[in-house]
Chain A
């Protein structure tokens, strides 16, 4: 891929990255779809229709969309608890996803998983995880399987800034480097692990520089700059597919909602949240660029947003009309 010029317009950049206008619009559309999904999930939760817990990713959409568009459909995804956006941008059916959130029998996991354990094995989407860092080591085995099959697929392994302080992160990076595991490790640094500021939790920043200790190439980037995420992931994916082993990318981003259902934001200021929302929002930024470069109009962008809402509203109707699991089946699926 050619190198970026110092002052590049969006159009020039897209051309260099091989992205058509349609691709750009599709990326914006998907970001809106995710944002609307998160708002809908929040409303459903408030209404008591979604229960348990969930972790919303509004504010982090560019990471999910950048990764999914820079990688292939047959690449594996190891997701984490804040993974709705990744699940959607890998191509989820919003209806089935909503059914899972409402605990319905026709949901992705037949209502047994919910937000935190949503998976779709038919699309190599290997599932979200309720254990912080729990999925990280799975990348080793998936990578070994990919190598065994002599495939050039890769595995995208997602986790947060907090998860990078779990022991398995270090164990796994070490083995991944030793064995040249084809994994794209992505640390979504949204500044907090629950209430813990990354600066209080991680001795040396950026997090990604830890890769140095394992001889793994790393990048720490603005995760709210969609095309930068796309470009970085694309380069990393090419490098990994060429058989060079893993890459660690830290995407610096921010979540708008609280950590999970119960969060009064006692650990951060309103100003901080407002500042991110109004000056760094990934959707506003990308939309602004597209409008400025006359690729779309403001009205068209609003329409994409409304489309996203509509898809989610329809999904809620679909899910609400779907059957509940039969309680007599509670002991099914313990063993294969």
Chain B
């Protein structure tokens, strides 16, 4: 199987789907010759032309609005928002328009669109280009939220997203763009709402997404040498969320740690804990459920501060050991 990067996997998914379905188009800022801020759409202008790789002025609310209009008349727009932070400017179109139309029109409108957005910190881009806003998106009825962690997942989830009849927010982590993995050349889809157990284990369950899956795995693989056996559940989509896999895993291990990059307060770790504590897994818990998250701050510029603002491998390791020792 060919090894390609996360970025290439995303491009490949768009490329193949645009070949297959002429209703699919990409719209956003600097996505043509420039290839998008991160180069994801590089080469696509030459292949598909300016009518399907639509470069816009810097007008985010109306870019998303344009996609909503196209979607309700049966096109399949993919929007690239340059940085996830900028989706805050477009929240009317995302939440009030795209997210609510199917419901408020009594099921008679569908809004099949994807909004791709690079999120997350670690590039030194500081407060307004680094935030993780997935909880806001999850909170909105009518939206779906995908948070792929690997090239394989990115391609399969993006193909599902484009074919989904609902608006999907597709969160790409900037630090993952260059990571590599095996990706089949042919098209395949990964269903939404199906978590992936990235590592089986019996002592503790880590539930995580995106880049934090990789950090968790790095820690867990080291701990395995000491005989500590941690399960890592990658949610892959935050909405819908695969409750069953999480509940079953916690019922098996009896311990839960949720790791996410987004800030702690009202972050989705709380949601996972609520699901577990309201389920049969509650009876199996033999330690308090814990969360390890970003601190409640805007992402700082300084390298050391930026690292300190979000969970690092040493934090995950410390937290896992503490839970296993009963020190909380």
0 or 1 for each of A60-83: is its CB under 8 Å from B? (1 = yes): 000000000000000010100000
Please state if A333 and B102 are interface contacts (CB–CB under 8 Å).
Answer: yes
Bound Cα distance from A168 to B105, whole angstroms? 23
B156 within 8 A of A: no
Please report A residues at the B interface, Cβ cutoff 8 Å.
76, 78, 107-113, 117, 119-122, 126-127, 129-131, 134, 136-148, 155, 167-168, 171-172, 174-175, 178, 332-336
Given contacts A131-B96, A178-B57, contact A109 B108 (CB under 8 A): yes
How distant is A253 from chain B, measured CB to nearest CB, in Å? 26
Supplied contacts A110-B107, A141-B70, 18 more A-B pairs, CB within 8 Å: A76-B73, A109-B108, A110-B106, A112-B107, A126-B73, A127-B101, A137-B69, A138-B65, A138-B66, A138-B72, A141-B65, A141-B66, A144-B66, A148-B75, A175-B57, A178-B57, A335-B102, A335-B166
Bound Cα distance from A141 to B74, whole angstroms? 10
Bound Cα distance from A172 to B63, whole angstroms? 9
How distant is B208 from chain A, measured CB to nearest CB, in Å? 25
Bound Cα distance from A175 to B74, whole angstroms? 21
How distant is B187 from chain A, measured CB to nearest CB, in Å? 22
Bound Cα distance from A76 to B93, whole angstroms? 19
- Contact residues of B between 56 and 84, Cβ < 8 Å to A: 56-57, 59, 61-75, 77
How distant is B162 from chain A, measured CB to nearest CB, in Å? 14
Given contacts A119-B105, A119-B108, A336-B107, contact A172 B73 (CB under 8 A): no
A-B pair count, CB < 8 Å, reads 146
How distant is B97 from chain A, measured CB to nearest CB, in Å? 6
| CB-based closest 8 A-B pairs | A137-B65, A141-B69, A141-B70, A138-B69, A110-B106, A109-B106, A140-B66, A171-B59
How distant is A254 from chain B, measured CB to nearest CB, in Å? 28
Q: Which residues of A contact B112 (CB under 8 A)?
A: 336
Q: Which residues of A contact B54 (CB under 8 A)?
A: 144
Please state if A141 and B109 are interface contacts (CB–CB under 8 Å).
Answer: no
Please state if B110 and A336 are interface contacts (CB–CB under 8 Å).
Answer: yes
How distant is B144 from chain A, measured CB to nearest CB, in Å? 8
The residue of chain A having its C-beta at the shortest distance from the C-beta of B65 within the complex is A137
The residue of chain A having its C-beta at the shortest distance from the C-beta of B240 within the complex is A335
Bound Cα distance from A175 to B61, whole angstroms? 12
Pick from A167, A332, A336: contact of B165, CB under 8 Å: A336
Among B54, B104, B142, which residue has the most Cβ atoms of chain A within 10 A?
A: B104
The residue of chain A having its C-beta at the shortest distance from the C-beta of B104 within the complex is A117
Please state if A134 and B57 are interface contacts (CB–CB under 8 Å).
Answer: no
B186 within 8 A of A: no
Bound Cα distance from A58 to B144, whole angstroms? 40
How distant is A92 from chain B, measured CB to nearest CB, in Å? 14
Q: Which residues of A contact B97 (CB under 8 A)?
A: 129, 131, 134, 138
